[in-house]
Copies of this chain bind each other. A is one copy, B any other.
Amino acid sequence: MADHDDRRFERTGARTIYDGSFISLSVERFRFADGEEVERAIVHHPGAVGVVCCSDEHVVLVRQPREAVGDPDSLELPAGKLEAGEDVVASARRELAEEVGLAAERWEHLRSFHSSIGVMDEEVHVYLATGLREASAEADENERIEIVRWPLDDLDGALAATHDAKTIIGLLLLRERRRAAAA
């Protein structure tokens, strides 16, 4: 059976196909230790942060249009892409203030993951934010985003209403904690 040495690879070439303001795409070549070479189309993404933002009674979610999947009303954690060189928690604080107008006292890392590991390098970091207060600056005006305060005692309903990976992971971890705390 295959072991680690059979899986080692190095990148031997890359050609950029598209370089946008957000994502880029390149076709890259890799060589394995046994000499085999493979070509992969790879999407490069700056990474993202999502925030499970909780008061004692609610988790704060957003509804927003998602053109890529044809959904005008996608229910998700407040989230945003990482800016180059910016600390992940700093980025999460900025997104929370801009998207929903909140600041949080306590930040806890819940989970990081790769979204679509076969084709894209995006890594998403999910944080739990508690101890909420209104942010000093107002939330950005965005006519498309609706803030939704979802009752914590209906996380099952929120999980049924979303189809977004980071939101599912964040809410599953939150539900697990609440069950453990109640046990």
Q: Are the C-beta atoms of A2 and B114 separated by less than 8 Å?
A: no
| Interface presence of A154 (CB below 8 A) | no
1/0 per position for A71-86, CB-CB distance to B under 8 A? 1111010000100000
| Interface presence of A178 (CB below 8 A) | no
Contact of A43 among B81, B120, B164 (CB under 8 A): B120
Per the bound structure, the CA–CA distance linking A176 and B168 in Å amounts to 14
Please indicate which of the listed interface residues A3, A143, A179 has the most CB atoms of chain B within 10 Å of its own CB: A143
Per the bound structure, the CA–CA distance linking A124 and B117 in Å amounts to 12
What residues on B are CB-neighbors of A48 within 8 Å? 118
Q: Are the C-beta atoms of A68 and B143 separated by less than 8 Å?
A: no
Smallest beta-carbon distance A174→chain B, Å = 11
Q: Are the C-beta atoms of A45 and B119 separated by less than 8 Å?
A: yes
**What is the chain B residue whose CB lies nearest that of A119?**
B23
1/0 per position for A101-144, CB-CB distance to B under 8 A? 00000000001111111111111100000000000000000111
Q: Are the C-beta atoms of B30 and A25 separated by less than 8 Å?
A: no
Q: Are the C-beta atoms of A4 and B143 separated by less than 8 Å?
A: no
What residues on B are CB-neighbors of A112 within 8 Å? 163
Q: Are the C-beta atoms of B146 and A3 separated by less than 8 Å?
A: yes
1/0 per position for A160-183, CB-CB distance to B under 8 A? 000111001100110110010001
What residues on B are CB-neighbors of A121 within 8 Å? 68-70
